[in-house]
Amino acid sequence: MHRSVESLLRDARESGRSIPEAVLATEARETGVEPAAIRARVRRTLEVMRAAIAEGLKGEVRSPSGLTGGRAKRLWDAGPRLLGPRVTATLARAIATLEVNAAMGLIVAAPTAGAAGVLPAILVSIGECLDLDDDALVDAMLVAGGIGGVIAQRASLAGAEGGCQAETGTAAAMGAAAVTWVAGGTDEQVATAVALSLQGMLGLICDPIGGLVEIPCIYRNASAAMQAIAAAEMALAGLDFPVPADEVIDIMGEVGRRMPAAYRETALGGLAASPSARRLVQIEPARRPTGISK
């Protein structure tokens, strides 16, 4: 995969390909898999994403800890009060996937399980809004994958290494790039959307209550999805950012490396260490899940 947004854009420009075509060609060359087979697998991945959203929106999933489940449906049913319907639906969809994840349902880690709600929510909502077919959504996913690949190589995708900015921040950057692309943005606007989304996620810590991928993760996924759409909106309007995407990605990596361990998925700091969180974990210990064999 490309190691910089700059090299991805240059590759596209010099080869006369679109960004998704450049990502696809690179993947085919590096793995020896036919482009058509890669697209087919991306499409199957999209189906898993859709199914997870649908399951979460039914409102029946509950995590073993009891901390999450049913909130996506509550937001969906309540509907928009302050926001446009698309945004409210996006928030509900992001929460839906994370609730399915917490309940041991089937999800796509994109780029991680803890950030699995962001990209699917954006794809489904923007797909609906712009009336996109699956081919266009597969293109959008290829753009997202190309950006995620750059971040994986330049910074980190793991909350334990770089905090939540590395997980939902990366997902937001992937989503912003995907949306900007399918909404007709230029290559430069795609890069700007990456910078704009990620700058808004810098410094975000990973502090899950009880060490579980539940709270605040479901809400962090919702806010990251919103961040991504906002960044795309601004990039598409021609707003600029003085620091290029690759430098913002590098800064995200640096902030992660300098982040104290308490804020890197250890459940020793942040919200996880709040008095209420500690009481909650005491009151609701996970049911003994080691099983008993006779």
Partner 1 sequence: MVSLFDILGPVMVGPSSSHTAGACRLGLMARAILGATPERARIALHGSFAATGDGHGTHRAIVGGLIGLMPDDLRLRDAFAEAERAGMRWEFVTVDLGDDAHPNTAIFELEAGGESARVRGASIGGGRIEVTEVDGFAVSLGGDYDTLVLLAEDVPGTIAAIAGVLAAEGINLATMRVDRTGRHLDALMTIEADQPVPERVLNQIRAFPWLRWARSVGKIA
Nearest approach, Cβ of residue 110 and partner 1 (Å):
5
Q: Residue 232's CB: how many other CB atoms inside 10 A? A: 29
Nearest approach, Cβ of residue 149 and partner 1 (Å):
5
Q: Residue 134's CB: how many other CB atoms inside 10 A? A: 14
Among 57, 63, 187, 199, binds partner 1 (CB under 8 A): 63
Burial status of residue 215 (CB atoms within 10 A of its CB: 0-12, 13-18, 19 or more): buried
Q: Please report, as residue ranges, which positions from 216 to 245 form the binding site for partner 1 (by CB under 8 A).
A: none
Kindly determine how many residues on this chain lie close enough to bind partner 1 according to the rule CB under 8 A. 56
Among 22, 75, 93, 114, binds partner 1 (CB under 8 A): 114
User: In Å, what is the CA distance from 20 to each residue of 127, 142, 271, 278?
Assistant: 16, 5, 38, 45
Helix (H) or strand (E) segment spanning residue 26: helix 19-31
Among 116, 121, 225, 249, binds partner 1 (CB under 8 A): 116
Residue type, 205: I
Among 20, 69, 148, 253, binds partner 1 (CB under 8 A): 148
- Nearer of residues 114 and 185 to partner 1, judged by Cβ: 114
DSSP 8-state code for residue 287:
P
Binding track, positions 173-212, relative to partner 1; x by CB under 8 A:
-x-----------------------------------xxx
**C-alpha dihedral, 21 to 23 to 28 to 29, nearest 10°:** 110
- Residue 157 touching partner 1 (CB under 8 A): yes
Please state, in angstroms and rounded to a whole number, the distance separating the CA atoms of residues 161 and 130: 36
Return the range that interacts with partner 1 (CB under 8 A); candidates 41-49, 222-230, 233-241, 272-280.
41-49
Give the ranges where 155-204 is alpha helix by DSSP (H): 159-162, 164, 170-182, 187-199
Nearest approach, Cβ of residue 119 and partner 1 (Å):
8
- Nearer of residues 48 and 271 to partner 1, judged by Cβ: 48
Residues 105/52, Cβ–Cβ less than 8 Å: yes
Please state, in angstroms and rounded to a whole number, the distance separating the CA atoms of residues 242 and 12: 22
Among 5, 22, 94, 100, binds partner 1 (CB under 8 A): 100
Nearest approach, Cβ of residue 217 and partner 1 (Å):
9
Binding site for partner 1 (CB under 8 A): 1, 23, 27, 30-31, 38, 41-42, 44-45, 48, 63-65, 100-114, 116, 141-142, 144-145, 148-149, 152-153, 157-158, 160, 174, 210-214, 267, 286, 288-294
